[in-house]
């Protein structure tokens, strides 16, 4: 790991009593048998339930299908990876040599899984209530930005509608980098609003996913 994981704990707002749990949460399977896969399983279930409960409370008129789409949008891989990047989680990961060479610390799948694992570690360290506080803090801004009307729309569609409503030109998406192995490539895409001199980047396992990630990053930039 390149950085002291206690800094990550500080960013999460939780001081671990068992630092070995945090270390395990940050250890990818490529680094050995002591890894985060089981914690990832636990964290995935916790996040899904906590976000479902938050949406159920916030949108009393939304039906099951709408709630499911909103939850899926909030907890999908790209969204979790975005939250992980906000925490600079990649700086703390323990990876095997192969993943280090291919930029695993920046890969959506690894970042999303590690975030789930770290939250699973928080749960084992401190229980449900503390974990819920951490999860709600992480997702607060995105929950505030969630609406039932937008629940079925992907980031590129929402960005296009946002720009068109203000009569701004549509963005350009450009592939800036392709990394990783041939069978496990990582695409980096820039989303450009040239007339506004704005640029945002996204990564994904395909060009389409990277474009969606870049569009989400641009939305977050312009909506602020």
Binding residues for Mg(2+): 40, 113, 116
User: Residue 53 contacts by C-beta under 8 Å, 6 or more apart in sequence?
Assistant: none
Query: Do residues 209 and 188 make contact, with C-beta atoms less than 8 angstroms apart?
Result: no
How many Cα neighbours within 13 Å face the side chain of 54?
24
Q: Is 116 tagged catalytic?
A: yes
- Three-class DSSP labels, 41-65: HHHHHHHHHHHHHHHHHHCCCCCHH
Catalytic residue among 44, 78, 125, 211: 44
H or E segment to which residue 184 belongs: strand 184-193
Q: How far apart are CA 206 and CA 57, in angstroms?
A: 35
Catalytic residue among 99, 116, 125, 211: 116
CA 166 to each of CA 149, 159, 160, 162, 222: distance values in angstroms, whole numbers, following the listed order:
19, 11, 10, 7, 12
CA angle 75, 96, 37 (to 5 degrees): 40
Quick check: helix, strand or coil at residue 10?
helix
Q: Is 177 tagged catalytic?
A: no
For the annotated catalytic residues, the residue numbers are: 44, 116
């Amino acid at each position: 790991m390149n950085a002291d994981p206690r800094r990550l704990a500080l960013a999460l707002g939780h001081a671990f009593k068992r630092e070995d749990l945090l270390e395990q949460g940050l250890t990818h399977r490529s680094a050995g048998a002591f890894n985060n896969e089981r914690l990832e399983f636990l964290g995935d279930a916790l996040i899904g339930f906590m976000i479902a409960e938050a949406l159920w409370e916030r949108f009393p008129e939304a039906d099951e299908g709408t709630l499911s789409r909103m939850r899926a949008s909030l907890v999908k891989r790209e969204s979790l990876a975005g939250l992980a990047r906000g925490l600079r989680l990649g700086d703390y990961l323990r990876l095997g040599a192969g993943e280090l060479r291919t930029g695993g610390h920046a890969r959506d799948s690894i970042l999303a899984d590690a975030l789930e694992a770290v939250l699973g570690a928080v749960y084992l360290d401190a229980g449900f209530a503390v974990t819920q506080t951490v999860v709600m803090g992480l997702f607060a801004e995105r929950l505030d930005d969630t609406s039932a009307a937008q629940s079925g729309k992907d980031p590129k569609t929402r960005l296009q509608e946002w720009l068109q409503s203000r009569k701004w030109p549509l963005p350009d998406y450009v592939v800036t980098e392709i990394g990783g192995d041939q069978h496990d490539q990582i695409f980096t895409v820039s989303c450009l609003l040239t007339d506004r001199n704005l640029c945002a980047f996204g990564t994904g396992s395909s060009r389409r996913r990277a474009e969606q990630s870049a569009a989400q990053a641009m939305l977050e930039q312009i909506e602020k």
